[in-house]
Structures are given as C-alpha cells and as structure tokens.
Amino acid sequence: MGWFRQLFFPSEPPTESQLEAGRHALITEGAVAAVLYSVGTGNFLAGYLSQLGASISFCAFVAMIPQLGCVLQFFSPFLFERIHHRKLSIWLLCVVYRFSLAAVFLVPLAVPGHAEARWVVLALYTIAFFAAGVVTPGLSHLTLGLAPDGRRGAFFARKDITAVCVNSAATLVMGRQLDYFTRIGRPDAGYLLIGAVCAALAILDALLLGLVRENPVAFVSKLRPADILRPVRDKSYRPLLLYCILGGLPGGLSTPFLSVYELRVLNLSHSFITTVGVVSAVAGMAGSWYWGRLADAAGWRRVIWLTAAINLSCTLGWAFVRPSWAPFTAPILMVATAACSGGASIASMNLQFASSPENAKTTYIGVTSATASIAACLSASVGTTLQPLLQNVLGNSSIPCLFLLAAALGFANLAVNGRKLPNNKS
C-alpha cells in the first residue's frame, strides 16, 4: 500500500518539477473531461433518449439534472474545507461521475427494453451529476492551488484553449459517425460506440487525475451551517444574489428543451450541430477576450447588461425559428449565444468575487451558484409539466411558447434587478 499513500497522502511536499508535471496532466485531463461533458449533455443525450423512445418532457427533465447537481455545492464545503489532503476524495468522486456518465450510453447492453432502459439511464445520470456537483468546488480548488504564481492567466488560457480544441474535434468526429450509423439504420450501434469511447476516456481521465500532485491545504476551516445564510443577510450583496437567483428561471425554462428542439422539431443533424459548435467555440474565445477588455473600461455590470440582453434576445429568437429556416438562422443564434456566454459567466463570477467579503468569498460564491441552480431546477420542473399540456393544444409550438416565457422573465429581471447591481472594474 506504499504506492497508494505516496499517490494520495505523500509524506513530503511536492517538488516544483512534480507540480509542473501535474499542471500538464491537469491540462490534458481538462480536455478529456470537456469531451465527456459535451457527449453526456446537449444533442448527443437528446438523440440517445429519443432513440430510447423518451418524450420531449422526459428529455428536458433529464437535461435539468446537471443543474440540480449544482445544488449540492451547498454541502461540498462541509467535506472539503475540513481535510488537508483532498485529492483522494476528489479522485473518487470524479471516477463515479465519469464512469456513470459513460455507462449511460451502454445501458442497452444490459437492459434491452426501452422503457426499463430509460429509468436506468435516469438513475445513472443522476448519480453522475450529483457526484459532479459535490466535486466541482474541490476540483476547482485543486486546480487553483496548482496554477503557477505570476502565470495563472497563461495557465488557465492554455487549459481552456486545449479543452476547446480537443472537445470541438472529438464531438465533430463523433457527430459525423453517429449520423452515419443513423443513415444506415443502426443508430443503436452508434450510441454504443459513443459509450465505449466515453468509457475509454473515463479510464484515461482517472489515470491523469491520479498523476496530479496536490498542494496540501495548510489550514482547514470550521464552517458552520449558519454561515450559509450570511450572503442572504448581507444587504450590500443581496441585490446581486437576487439577480442571480431570478436569472436562473429563464435558463430552467429554455435550456433543457433546446437540444431536443433542435433535433426533433427543427430536424438538425448531429453533424450540423457539432460543426456549428466548432464555430461557436471560436466565437466564445473571441467573446471572452472582448468582454474582458470592456470590463476593464466600463465595469462588470455593463458586461452583464449587454451579454444578458443578447442571450435573452437569442432565447426569444429560437421561438420564431422554423424547420425551413433553421439551417440559416440556428447557426446565428448558436454562435451569438456562445460569444456572450463566456463573458456573462466571467462577469457574474467576478462581480460576485468583488462584492463578497475577503473572509467568506467561497461561501458567498457557492451559495449564489446553488440558489441560482435551485431556481433553475424549479422553473425546469414547471416547464416539463407545462410542455406536455401545451403540446396537446399547440403541437410543436409548445417549446417556442416556453422560449417566449423564458425571454419575458429574463428581460423583466434585467430591467428591474439589473439596474441595482454594483459596478466593479476588473
């Protein structure tokens, strides 16, 4: 067991060469994880569930589970903030997450009936993203602890660009092979091949994460349950918290339905979606650069206003897209959303960081993320209940109605609460 202790509980602090090797491993692991996440969400998941005979509302219900898993970030500080060596807990949770996600696509091998397979998929998917929700703060802390002082920006830029490039190439190839199997009448074989690839990637991810040497935490905190309510009681932070919570409502109504809408209503192929995804990834990187420069000049609040307005306009735009126009209008909406999403996320996180007190930033950011996820899950539950009722009356127009409602709620939140946000420059 000496190798085990050396891997997860080393007696000596890591050397600089070991830390540098760990950084390279983390960059590669991040790219592998990005592929697994993309395959396990979005159009691949929606197509797979449709292949199993799932309804639109069931597809949307499953699609909201990753958001539901984020709620567990409420509780992860009680695990990670109490231990010095966190790598083993992080590794085990990541193994559960990645392998459960890969197993989702292999369920038909063990459960031949579609009705039974759908419920097994739901169970595995829930396990995967509940583990992801718990591990995300710890993995983020591990990554931040390994980032080199004075070169953090370059490190994270290299990590993100590598993930985007590898993810774009991998999903493009898998999308094309899936369309090939669909054309020859064997989509089931295509999804099994995706499951096998994901299983291989999960093994590689576990090996890479195991090679990373962590910087042990020098102190542990005695976080109390009452500390969770501190952001709510903070009058100066409350407007931002309220904006983020209400901002989760439009996403819960629209995001879970978007992939199944693209595939089953607009009849877009996997190859088309993944090809546009490559362009969207480039637009996302360019957008992050532009929004960062704008934040330097005008502050994070201005970035939130503009990116939210564009994103909500795209949500509204999806309500008017029709199958005959989709090959021309869908790429515009997808690329515009991607160009703003990175800036919106970075702006929100930086505004939360700047507005929270020095001794409680982790708690403030975690509570904000978790409460926004709760709001998104509640609105997604309402959406999955409303959609079948609307479909009985409106048919395929049921999902555009949800897009209209989401856009209206988002613009109302931006108009009422967006103007109350604090303003901080980067």
180 and 165 within one domain: yes
Last-in-domain residue among 201, 219, 237: 219
83 falls in which pLDDT band (50, 70, 90)?
Answer: low
300 and 214 within one domain: no
Give the residue from 344, 366, 346 showing the smallest Cα distance to 356.
366
296 and 186 within one domain: no
Rounded-to-integer distance, Cα 325 and Cα 334, Å: 14
407 and 284 within one domain: yes
201 and 53 within one domain: yes
Within 10 angstroms of residue 107's Cβ, the number of other Cβ atoms is: 23
Instruction: Identify residue 88 by its one-letter amino acid code.
Output: L
CATH number where 190 lies? 1.20.1250.20
13 falls in which pLDDT band (50, 70, 90)?
Answer: low
194 and 259 within one domain: no
Residue 259: domain span: 226-426
Burial class (CB in 10 A: 0-12, 13-18, 19+), 415: exposed
* pLDDT given at position 211: 85
pLDDT digits (tens, 9 = 90+) for 114-137: 888 899 999 999 999 999 888 887
* pLDDT given at position 4: 66
78 falls in which pLDDT band (50, 70, 90)?
Answer: low
pLDDT digits (tens, 9 = 90+) for 403-421: 999 999 999 999 988 888 8
N- to C-terminal Cα separation, the chain: 47
Tokens representing residue 152 in the block: 């953090």
190 and 128 within one domain: yes
150 and 22 within one domain: yes
- Is pLDDT of 359 > 70? no
**Domain count along the chain:** 2
180 and 255 within one domain: no
Last-in-domain residue among 168, 192, 219: 219
For residues 268, 273, 274, 277, the Cα torsion angle rounded to the nearest 10 degrees is 170
- Is pLDDT of 320 > 80? yes
233 and 193 within one domain: no
Rounded-to-integer distance, Cα 113 and Cα 135, Å: 33
Rounded-to-integer distance, Cα 310 and Cα 345, Å: 14
Average pLDDT, the chain: 82
SS (H, E, C) the chain: CHHHHHHHCCCCCCCHHHHHHHHHHHHHHHHHHHHHHHHCCHHHHHHHHHHCCCCHHHHHHHHCHHHHHHHHHHCHHHHHCCCCCCHHHHHHHHHHHHHHHHHHCCHHHHCCCHHHHHHHHHHHHHHHHHHHHHHHHHHHHHHHHHCCCCCHHHHHHHHHHHHHHHHHHHHHHHHHHHHHHHHCCCHHHHHHHHHHHHHHHHHHHHHHHHHCCCCCCCCCCCCCHHHHHHHHHCCCCHHHHHHHHHHHHHHHHHHHHHHHHHHHHCCCCHHHHHHHHHHHHHHHHHHHHHHHHHHHHHCHHHHHHHHHHHHHHHHHHHCCCCCCCHHHHHHHHHHHHHHHHHHHHHHHHHHHHHHCCHHHHHHHHHHHHHHHHHHHHHHHHHHHHHHHHHHHHHHHHHHHHHHHHHHHHHHHHHHHCHHHCCCCCC
| pTM > 0.85 | no
216 falls in which pLDDT band (50, 70, 90)?
Answer: low
* pLDDT given at position 225: 67
pLDDT digits (tens, 9 = 90+) for 145-200: 777 766 665 676 678 778 888 888 888 888 888 889 888 888 889 999 999 999 99
268 and 352 within one domain: yes
Last-in-domain residue among 182, 201, 219: 219
